[in-house]
């Protein structure tokens, strides 16, 4: 599990996040992340580890996020 200090909701463009860390930072559960992946959020794999790029997440939010 990611340290509590990472769970601030801030995703930076130039960083990559291991899947579990990304979920903790964004506060997403497994089902929400699965849905985002189905809707086009790219997940990159190196060996057995999966990563999400900060840039990909911010692009995804721009196209799929709803302004409130």
pLDDT tens profile 36-59: 999 999 999 999 999 999 999 999
The token duo for 56 is 């990909």
Predicted TM-score (pTM) above 0.85: no
Q: List the chain domain ranges.
A: 4-64
What's CA 66's distance to the chain center, in Å?
A: 17
Does residue 13 contact residue 55 with C-beta atoms inside 8 Å?
yes
> Taking 80 as the threshold, does the pLDDT of residue 1 lie above it?
no
Higher pLDDT, 4 or 27: 27
């Amino acid at each position: 599990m990611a340290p509590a200090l990472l769970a601030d909701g801030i995703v930076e463009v130039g960083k990559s996040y291991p899947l579990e860390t990304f979920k903790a930072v964004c506060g997403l559960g497994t089902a929400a992340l699965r849905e985002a992946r189905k809707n086009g959020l790219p997940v990159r794999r190196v060996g057995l580890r999966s990563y999400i790029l900060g840039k990909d997440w911010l692009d995804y939010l721009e196209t799929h996020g709803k302004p409130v």
